[in-house]
Structure 1
Amino acid sequence: MSEKEIHNDLVNRIIESDSFGKSDTYANLLKYLVDCTKTNDIPKETTIGTHLFGLNAAENYDSAKVRVYVFNLRKKLDQYFQNEGQNEECILTIPKGSYKVEMVKKSSAGKKSISLKNPKTLLLISVLLCISIVLNFIFWNKNTEIEKSYEVIPKTKFWNDFIEGERPVLVVLGDLFIYTEQNTITGLRQTIRNSGINSEVEFENYKEKNADSTRVFGDLTYTYLIRNTTDWIESLTKIFYSNHKSFNTRVISRIGAKDIHDHNIVFIGMQKTAGLFNNYFLNSKFSLIDDNTLGYQANPESDIQKFSPLGNPDQFHTDYGFVAKFPGPNNNTIFMFGGIWDTAASQSLKNFTDPELIANLENQMIQKFNKIPQYFEVLFEVSGLDRTELNTKVVHMNEIDKISIVWAEK
């Protein structure tokens, strides 16, 4: 059998093994890297991303995705040679810092024997053993700290779709619309945030209704993110990083239909900034009555309950947060974390990223549904002080049927 045939047979055994797992993506990645190595045409990261994952090197290129997949591929190879491949004559490796696949032959030849009868040899071995024990203890402590930083939260069904799925994850941040206004008489130009304007359409309507020769309105290429945005990213990074999963981040004003079609999506922000994600309310018992009011109607015959914030967001206040996990338009998953004010938006996400709050919410769902539903919607009441959440309680909680068409009108 030729060396090429031996190589191909080994690759096939690895791909078909239980340790490697039944994943076409990782099988294609391994075959691609092996083929490139055979022709001595070692691919670059961007080449792998473009050929295997359809990434656009010119726009929104996710370099982390390629590294994560190759990292996991190395682990799958290690698992194979530790289990089914223990007796293989050759080992396949992908050295760090390279995408070249190396086939290393196992060999015990050339090893020199060491006499244990020599006192100097025994002393040397004893010293090396002591050093090894000390170093192992140091690295064990260090690795334990690293593992603790990885395992930030326990395994939870809330995030299974995002962690275990091969579809890329897109985190969408609710940004606030801002625009410019220039006084043609004084020449003064200012940037304005108008709470009544949260989209291009509303901005165009506003300009039409407020046409004035003394004022010139202008668009901006940037938007405004609220203070809690960094906390949201930190919470999600802990979840995904601990599971070696990457994600892209974008603001709501910069996404389109294709993004919603191609990704598993996490939206976080005030409900008035959710944009097209607010289409969800077309087929929910909840409704977004206006920017400051959420409604709930248990059935067509019942009255609509209205929920609006109370107090001053910069002082003690009560806010309402809304969370919905529901199927997207392309067998993907959408997780929406909203709030009427930013206090509840932050607490809504915290309920699904803090270990203690996760456990509490899981228990409530099991008590009500006898399971943790794959899709659900929850309304939270949140008490806060100076835009910081203090405590929370569930007001309403419903299971969502997978076949519900949340993107169609009633």
Structure 2
Amino acid sequence: MISEADKLRVLDLLLNSKTFSKSTTSNVLLKYLIESSINNKNLNATDIGIELFGSQYEPEKSEATVRVNIYHLRNKLKKYFEGEGVEDDIFIEIKRGQYGVSFHKKQKLKPKYSLKKKLYIYSSILALLVIGLYAYAKLSYKDPVWHTFFKNNKETTLYLYDIFGYYGPTLFNKIGWHRDYEINSAAEFYKEVEKHPKLMEDYAPGRNVYVNFLSAYSVNNLSRHFQKHQKEFKIHKFHNLTLQQLKEQNSIYLGPLRYDNAFVDFFNLKSKRIKLIDQNKTPEHDDDIEYFDGRNASYNEGRNVVYKDAKKGIDTIVTLKSNGHSHEHVLVAKLHGDNDTTNFMFFSNHGFGATAAIEYFTDTDSISSFNEEYLKNGDEFIALFDVSGKDRTSMNVKQVIFDDNK
């Protein structure tokens, strides 16, 4: 129920509004209509005409004028309540064909959702936003080390070095497969037979083996990393690989450094300042050469890394060493090949060095750290690491040399 005081308050607001400030006729008409409403007076055109025109009232002419003024008043009320009075708690209207004023209280809109439901909705939207941002970041993430493998639309092949061995008696009078670092092919095997015919008479060349525990562990890390980027690679043994084959696909090499092979040749061809040289071909002494011998209690691995340092004006020779069980040097290189191909090489003579390096270069945190400190978003690099760990576990990867090949 709307009280008389409320109705008069509405009248006062209207008469003092900008909408009605310059409209004398509408103000008089409005005041008369509202006061008549308060007094429950039934109105007709004649009553309104006499009120407005007094002694000048003429029935036919004045009633038409009343209807026109009512029309204008109705429009002014509409304009006011859509503008100045949009926040008023009471509004009035004059319905078409009538002269009486109707008062109405505005209904307070009930909240569509309770506070609890609002919190649930907001938290759900926030969760979706976080998931969306995470998905966007994941999709837009560019792996700074491996991105060329994922973006150049070339097939990738992982080459595992196949190790030569031979069959013969064991210490326990059984037949077993033997590995000798100095015998790496059937030709070398038969040379030993010629030198020691009696000793070697019960032995024969065996098949090449290229999968062992260490290489399997490395393959597992590489597979997980490629799968994160919806990519895959093939696995081949290294035997008889040529440089021509490296021009047709992306390649990853996991194998020793001590022997001549296509990846050693490729490395020496594409590397600008670092070369891999057989120890027997390295000069014993030169005034323009600085020697870096690495660890002392280690045996040499049959190959040196020669680093041409333009700043020093000398060559640094690193003698690659290992003790075969707790530390060794591993050389890691990412170099572009022909035909928009990329090659990633992990040179490690005893396997556990390359395993540690692959674990390092397939871990998101270490990749990011390596990129920020060294790559600076570059595409190529060569890095020499010293890998150590008790019984080949808890391995520590320490960098010795870094070169961006620019």
Q: TM-score range by the shorter chain?
A: 0.5 to 0.7
**Matched positions, count:** 250
Distance 1:265 1:310, change over 3 A: closer
Aligned to 1:193: 179
The alpha-carbon deviation at position 298 of structure 1 amounts to: 2.6
Distance 1:262 1:188 in 2: 45
- Check the 8 A contact 1:267/1:274 in 2, yes or no: no
The alpha-carbon deviation at position 332 of structure 1 amounts to: 1.9
Alignment match of 1:319 (pick from 316, 321, 328): 328
Distance 1:213 1:197, change over 3 A: closer
Distance 1:263 1:205 in 2: 36
Q: Does 1:297 align with 2:284?
A: no
- Check the 8 A contact 1:173/1:249 in 2, yes or no: yes
Distance 1:386 1:379 in 2: 21
Alignment match of 2:217 (pick from 218, 221, 231): 231
Q: Does 1:379 align with 2:362?
A: no
Distance 2:337 2:219 in 1: 22
Q: Does 1:364 align with 2:344?
A: no
- Check the 8 A contact 1:351/1:358 in 2, yes or no: yes
Q: Does 1:156 align with 2:143?
A: yes
Aligned to 1:5: none
Aligned to 1:28: none
Distance 1:336 1:260, change over 3 A: same
Distance 1:354 1:214, change over 3 A: closer
Distance 1:152 1:309 in 2: 42
The alpha-carbon deviation at position 278 of structure 1 amounts to: 1.5
Distance 1:333 1:274 in 2: 21
> Identity over the aligned pairs, expressed in percent?
21
- Check the 8 A contact 1:179/1:192 in 2, yes or no: yes
Q: Which amino acid aligns with 1:390?
A: M
Distance 2:275 2:405 in 1: 10
More displaced 10-residue stretch of structure 1: 328-337 or 287-296 = 287-296
Q: Does 1:265 align with 2:247?
A: no
Q: How does 1:390-409 map to 2 (within 5 A)?
A: 390-401=395-406
The alpha-carbon deviation at position 192 of structure 1 amounts to: 1.5
Q: Which amino acid aligns with 1:173?
A: L
Q: How does 1:3-402 map to 2 (within 5 A)?
A: 155-181=142-168, 189-212=175-198, 215=201, 217-253=203-239, 255-256=241-242, 259-272=245-258, 275-283=261-269, 284-287=274-277, 289=279, 291=301, 293-299=303-309, 302=314, 304-309=316-321, 311=323, 313=325, 317-366=326-375, 371-401=376-406
Q: Which amino acid aligns with 1:382?
A: V
- Check the 8 A contact 1:179/1:217 in 2, yes or no: yes
Structure 1 segments unaligned to the other structure (5+ residues)? 1-136, 402-410
- Larger Rg, first or second structure (1 or 2): 2
Distance 1:330 1:209 in 2: 47
Distance 1:341 1:153 in 2: 37
- Check the 8 A contact 1:384/1:391 in 2, yes or no: yes
